[in-house]
Amino acid sequence: MQTTRRTFLGLAAAAAALPTTFSIAKAQSKPEVIRIAGPGNAAGKPYGTGPVGVLRARQFLEKEFSNDGIRIDWQFPRGTGPAINEAFANGQLDFSSYGGLPNIVGRGAGLKTRVLAGNGNAPTYLVVRPSAQVGKLADLKGKKVAVQRGTIYELSLSQFLGEVGLTSGDVQIFDLQGADQTAAFSSGDVDAVIGGGSNVLHLVEKGLGQVVFTTKSNPAPGSSFGSFVVIERFSKQYPEITQRVVKSFIEAAHFASLEENRETLYDLLALTGAPRSAFVADYKDDDLRDRNNPLVDDFYKANLEAGIRFSTDQKLIRKPFDVSAWIDDRYLKKALADLGYNGFWASRDAKGKKIS
């Protein structure tokens, strides 16, 4: 965990150096640019998955701010969540939609982010090589597992192992990014890889591996979740602009949640460079509203709490923090009301069961 701790310390130092006053900037009525990020992907294309992928591909923000002369700067760093945290710490980002663990680590390290909405839930897959002789989770003991540390999938792996009484110390973890995971798996240097559908199901499609465990149709524990966040200084300086960004994000989530848009959704997600067929397999039989639910309900909050406990236990953050103080759902509530989407997505209890 030394690399992760060094990253934490660097984030903390950078966050401490960020400006906390806005006397000069307050004179501006609008920014020249809105800088927004999503996790990079193995193919390296500047597009994402989930609502943020649709937001980018359908150009909701570009259309929203075209008459204002505000430029939209998109970033999809190869280093995914940890790299997004570094960009926030260095003052290079205003908004991002990314995985639950890295945005927890960023907040714990002192990044003054605020949660504006959830970014949906997606299945996590454990894919293994046939030669690894892993037929169930318990068989992972002693095996080589590829996962990018500091991402939501590190939390997922911990939760998977915990289901069968194992810990991360019972497996050999290889800290690799998406493209490197694919290469290591294909060459046989690792036995298993854990990740999201578009990143790992193509290995199954090629006949290189098989899924031995997934959270598909059973979101807790271990499903992928994340947050749409803003750096606090931006939302304080430009509250009206922040509201319009959230509105656009909710419009994208709504588009991605409509069954009549399913085939178009696959086309948009395939802009990442991942095979379209991987998205078809990943989304098969799933309710699009569940996959793209932006609500900050009890299930979302329970996932955050689990992530904070994990981050504290693993010393990724020094101490836990108050989830309710981190969430600012005023913009979400107004967007849902203004767009007429109240009740469109079902709220869920802490176990992920729909309650409305």
Question: Is residue 56 scored above 80 in pLDDT?
Answer: yes
- pLDDT per residue as tens digits for the range 126-145: 999 999 999 999 999 999 99
Rounded to whole angstroms, how far apart are CA atoms 285 and 255?
18
215-226: string of b/e by CB count within 10 Å (b at 16+)? bbeebbbbbbbb
Q: Are 122 and 145 in contact (CB under 8 A)?
A: no
Question: Is residue 91 scored above 60 in pLDDT?
Answer: yes
**Domain boundaries 124-214, CATH class:** alpha beta
- pLDDT per residue as tens digits for the range 14-43: 554 454 433 334 435 899 999 999 998 877
Question: Is residue 166 scored above 50 in pLDDT?
Answer: yes
Mean pLDDT of 175-196: 92
Question: Is residue 54 scored above 50 in pLDDT?
Answer: yes
Which secondary-structure segment (H or E) carries 192? strand 192-196
Task: Give the N- to C-terminal CA distance of the chain in Å, as an integer.
Answer: 41
Write the CB contacts of 207 (distance below 8 Å, at least 6 apart in sequence).
Answer: none
Question: What pLDDT, on the 0 to 100 scale, is given for residue 15?
Answer: 53
Question: What pLDDT, on the 0 to 100 scale, is given for residue 199?
Answer: 80
Question: Is residue 188 scored above 70 in pLDDT?
Answer: yes
Rounded to whole angstroms, how far apart are CA atoms 214 and 216?
5
Whole-structure pTM value: 0.86
Sign of CA dihedral 126, 155, 43, 278: positive
Write the CB contacts of 113 (distance below 8 Å, at least 6 apart in sequence).
Answer: 88, 103, 106, 107, 229, 230, 231, 232, 326
The angle subtended at Cα 40 by Cα 253 and Cα 212, nearest 5°, is 85
- pLDDT per residue as tens digits for the range 147-163: 988 888 999 999 999 99
Structural domain boundaries in the chain: 2-121+225-339, 124-214
What single string gives the DSSP state of each residue in 317-339? SSS---HHHHB--HHHHHHHHHH
Task: Assign a CATH topology to domain 2-121+225-339.
Answer: D-Maltodextrin-Binding Protein; domain 2 (3.40.190)
Give helix 2-17 / helix 100-108 axis angle, nearest 10°: 60
Question: Is residue 55 scored above 90 in pLDDT?
Answer: yes
- pLDDT per residue as tens digits for the range 194-224: 988 878 898 998 899 999 999 998 777 788 8
Question: Is residue 110 scored above 50 in pLDDT?
Answer: yes
